[in-house]
Structures are given as C-alpha cells and as structure tokens.
C-alpha cells in the first residue's frame, strides 16, 4: 500500500459546497447593495478560508475597513451556518471511496480552510465517523497552504509525511501538501479543474474517486 494515511480537503474535494457558499456571499453583498457574483466566479474566491473570501467580495472602497470587515464576516457566518446544507452534497463516488479506504485500514482525516466550527458538523452530517480527525481553520495557525496546521494534523495523527497523501482540488491544496513534505493528489472533479492542479505540480491528478482509490492502495 503506497499510502497508509490520507488527509482530504473538504470544499470541492469531498463536498460540493459551492452553491451554498455563493448564496451566503451573495446574500451579504445584496444586503449592502454591492455587486453579486455567479457560482463559477466563486470557484476562484473560495479556498483560502472565509476571511479571505470576505476580502474578495467586499468592494475595493472598503479595503482596510476593519469595522466593515467584521460586520460582513459575521453576517456571512450567520447566514452560511443556517443554510450550509441547502445544496451541499458529497461528490458522486466519494462515499464508496471512503468505505473502501477505511476497510483497507487506511487512516483518514480532513484538513480544511473552512472555519473549524463549520467544518466539523458538516463532516459529521455527511460522513459520520469515517475520519480519525477533522481540522478546520482556527486562529492558532495561519490558514493553508502555510505548513504549521498541516504539521499539527500529522502530529495529532502520529503519522509520517512519506506515508501520507494530501488530497485537494486547487493550487492551494497542492501547496498545502508540498509545504509539509506530502505528496498530493489533485481531484479534477472539484472547483478548479485538471489544468490548475497539473500546473501547480500535483503528483497525481484524478478524474474520479475510483482512480484515487487505486493511487492510495496501489
């Protein structure tokens, strides 16, 4: 078995959350009379955590306005918390992938830039106890792709980088794995697509969960 541990990104990798994230962002923008964005535009606004998403949707004239930022991120979090399951669902084949990896004895974890308080209930709702560890963004660490939070997850799991694969859908995820010494499998079914993952240097790029299973189990 090439990899004994697999750490997954969440949004765009395990769960298709794009429509609910876009709805929350557009709710805030509409409430303030700002321009809204299409779900496809949100593909390139998400991925670095909710604070960075808010920076990307606030109009330029509010850049650096701390009071406005705090108001908007609070509004976003409240709306998203109430509506985060309206359209969200696992990607086809993901449940079977997790079942097969678990049955083969592979340790599974989630490391996401989604706020920890939002990531944990979503994972529990859709995946039950499939994962040994779920870690979202917390203030104690800089967000991905900075290495400290990934190293923290490795320490909590007590696993070695050379036996661990990081799986994600964006260049942020490729950098996340590489910054912590992990090989990366990019999933082309997610938010960004094969071209970005290949350009970022992912060791593997897969089109479907069954292909990822073959990468992990050999």
Neighbours of 31 (CB within 10 A): 11
The sign of the dihedral angle between the CA atoms of 160, 194, 212, 15 is positive
Closest among 64, 97, 131 to 211, alpha carbons compared: 97
- Which is the catalytic residue, given 9, 11, 169, 173? 9
Q: What is the dihedral of CA 27, 33, 36, 42, to 10 degrees?
A: -60
Active site (annotated) includes residue 9: yes
How far apart are the C-alpha atoms of 56 and 188, rounded to whole Å?
24
Q: How far, in Å, are 17, 64, 129, 161, 169 from residue 13 at the CA level?
A: 9, 32, 18, 20, 6
DSSP class of residue 214 equals: H
How far apart are the C-alpha atoms of 169 and 16, rounded to whole Å?
11
Helix (H, G, I), strand (E, B) or coil at 139: coil
130-156 CB burial, b ≥16 within 10 A, e <16: bbeebbbbeeebebbbebebbebbbee
Would you name the residues annotated as active-site residues?
9
């Amino acid at each position: 078995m090439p990899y004994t541990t697999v750490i997954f990104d969440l949004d765009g990798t395990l769960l298709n959350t794009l429509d609910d994230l876009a709805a929350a962002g557009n709710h805030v923008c509409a409430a303030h009379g700002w321009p809204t964005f299409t779900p496809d535009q949100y593909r390139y606004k998400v991925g670095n955590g909710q604070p960075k998403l808010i920076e990307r949707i606030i109009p330029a004239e509010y850049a650096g306005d701390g009071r406005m930022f705090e108001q908007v991120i609070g509004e976003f979090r409240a709306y998203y918390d109430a509506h985060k399951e309206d359209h969200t669902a696992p990607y086809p084949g993901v449940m079977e992938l997790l079942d097969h990896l678990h049955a083969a004895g592979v340790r599974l974890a989630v490391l996401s830039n989604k706020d920890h308080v939002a990531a944990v209930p979503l994972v529990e709702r859709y995946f039950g106890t499939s994962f040994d560890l779920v870690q979202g963004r917390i203030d104690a660490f800089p967000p991905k792709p900075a290495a400290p939070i990934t190293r923290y997850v490795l320490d909590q799991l007590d696993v070695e980088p050379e036996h661990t694969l990081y799986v994600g859908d964006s260049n942020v995820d490729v950098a996340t794995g590489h910054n912590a010494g992990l090989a990366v499998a990019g999933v082309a079914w997610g938010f960004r697509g094969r071209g970005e993952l290949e350009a970022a240097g992912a060791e593997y790029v897969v089109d479907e969960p069954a292909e990822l299973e073959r990468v992990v189990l050999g």
